[in-house]
Amino acid sequence: MENEPSASTPVDQETPREVDSGSPVASSEPTPSATASEFEAASNAAAITPVEPAVPVEDSLEPFLEASDTAEVPDPAESTDAPEAADVVESSTEDHAQQSAADTAEVADEADGTEVAEEAEPRVRRPLPRVIAVANQKGGVGKTTSTVNISACLAEQGFRTLLVDLDPQANASTGLGLDPRTLEHSIYHVMLHDVDADSCIEPTEVKNLFVLPSSLDLAGAEIELVPAMSREHRLRLAIESVIDDYDYVLIDCPPSLGLLTVNALAAATEVLVPIQCEYYALEGLGQLMRNVELVKANLNRELEISHIVLVMFDPRTKLAGQVVDEVRGHFGDRVCENVIPRTVRLSEAPSFGQPITTFDSDSRGASAYRSVTLEVIDG
C-alpha cells in the first residue's frame, strides 16, 4: 500500500509542502497539481486566509503530522484565548469547562426559537437525509471498507441508503457486487455529461442499499473538471434530484484531495474520517482538516467533521492503543467509541461482492461496524 512508510521518523520524511496553507495538495498521494492549484485559485484571497481549525490538532499530533506550516496555522493558544462562538461549540471535550457559558446561552437561544449552533447539545440526532463524505487522502486506510459496511449497516437498520462511489478504482461498486464494466453509465457521466443520477443508481443484494457506481472513466475527471462550469459543485447538483429518496447518502472519496474530493465535501454536510490505528496513519490529518475548513469557508458552510472512526485496530500492538488515546485526546467525542478491529473476514468480503453484514453476519467485523453505525445514527 502506498501509505506504508519506509522511513522511521515521520516528521522528517514528509515531502515538504508549499508554504500556502490553502493548498489542497495531498502530501502522500499523487494529486494532479493543476487540479489542486485550480481549486486554490478558486478561493479568493480573503477567503484563503486560513480558517481556524475547530481543534488545534497540530500541536500535540505534531509527532505524527507533517512539519506544520506554522506561519499559516493559527496559534492554538490564541484560539483558546478568544474563541469564535462556533469554534467553542465545536471544540473538543477538553474545552467543555470553557464551553458551559456559551452552551447556556445557546440553550436560552433555543427557547427563544432563535438560531442555535448545531452541536450545542451532545449527539443530537441530525435530520434526514444526511450526506456523509468518507474522506482521508491516504490510500488503503479503510475508506471504502467503512463506506460499504456502514452503508450496509444503515440499510440493515431500515434506512434507505445510497452509496456514491467517487473513486475511479470503483472498489465500493465491485465490493457490493457490481461490475462497472457492464454498466452503461456511472457517476462520471452524471458529473460530466449531465446524465440523470437516478438512471445510474443500481440496487444491491442488500435491501435498502443502492449504489451510484464509479467507473474507470472517472480517473480523467480530475482534469476534465478543471475547465467545467461549477466544477466544485457538480456532484452536489447531480445528486440533488435524488437525495430526497434516501435517508443516508455516503460518498466514498478517492485517495486524494483533488477536485473529486472537493466535490464530495461540497455535496456533504458531514465528513467521516477513518483513521488506521498505525503511527503513520495520522500523517496528513492536519492537511485534511485544513481542506475541510477551506471548503467550509468557500463552498459549503454546513460542512463539519462529524465522526472519526478508528479502523484496523490490533489489540496486540501497544502502538495501536497509543494512537487511539492520542486521537481521542484531540478529537474528543467526535471519535467513535467503538473501534473496528483488523480482521481477515473484513478484507475477504469485497471479493465476494458483499458487505460484512451478509458475508459473515456474526463476525467481529460485522458487530463492530454495526456498533459504529449506531453511533453515526445517533449524531
Ligand X SMILES: Nc1ncnc2c1ncn2[C@@H]1O[C@H](COP(=O)(O)OP(=O)(O)O)[C@@H](O)[C@H]1O
Q: Please name the residue ranges forming H helices in 167-303.
A: 171-175, 187-192, 197-200, 221-224, 234-240, 259-267, 285-298
Q: Which among 263, 287, 260, 259 has a CA at the least distance from the CA of 273? A: 287
CB 176 within 8 A of CB 209: yes
Q: How crowded is residue 351: how many other Cβ atoms within 10 Å of its Cβ?
A: 10
Phi, psi dihedrals of residue 33, rounded to the nearest 5°: -65, -30
Of 17-25, 38-46, 72-80, 345-353, the window that binds ligand X (rule: CB under 6 A) is 345-353
Give the amino acid at 240.
E
- In the complex, minimum distance from the CB of residue 5 to ligand X, in angstroms, rounded to a whole number: 16
Nearer to ligand X by Cβ, of 38 and 165: the residue is: 165
Among 35, 68, 144, 215, binds Mg ion (CB under 5 A): 144
Residue 309 touches which of Mg ion, ligand X, none (Cβ within 5-8 Å per kind): none
SS3 of 186, please? coil
Binding mask 163-182 for ligand X (x = CB under 6 A): --------x-----------
SS3 of 130, please? strand
Helix axes 143-156, 364-377, angle to 10 degrees: 70
Using rule CB under 6 A, residue 139 touches ligand X: yes
156-185: which residues touch Mg ion (CB under 5 A)? 167, 171
Using rule CB under 5 A, residue 92 touches Mg ion: no
Residue 340 touches which of Mg ion, ligand X, none (Cβ within 5-8 Å per kind): ligand X
Using rule CB under 5 A, residue 138 touches Mg ion: no
Rounded CA gap, 157 and 13, in Å? Answer: 44
Residue 178 touches which of ligand X, Mg ion, none (Cβ within 5-8 Å per kind): none
Q: How many residues bind ligand X (CB under 6 A)?
A: 17
Among 17, 130, 138, 143, binds Mg ion (CB under 5 A): 143
Q: Could you list the residues that contact ligand X (CB under 6 A)? A: 139-145, 171, 255, 311-312, 340, 342-343, 346-347, 350
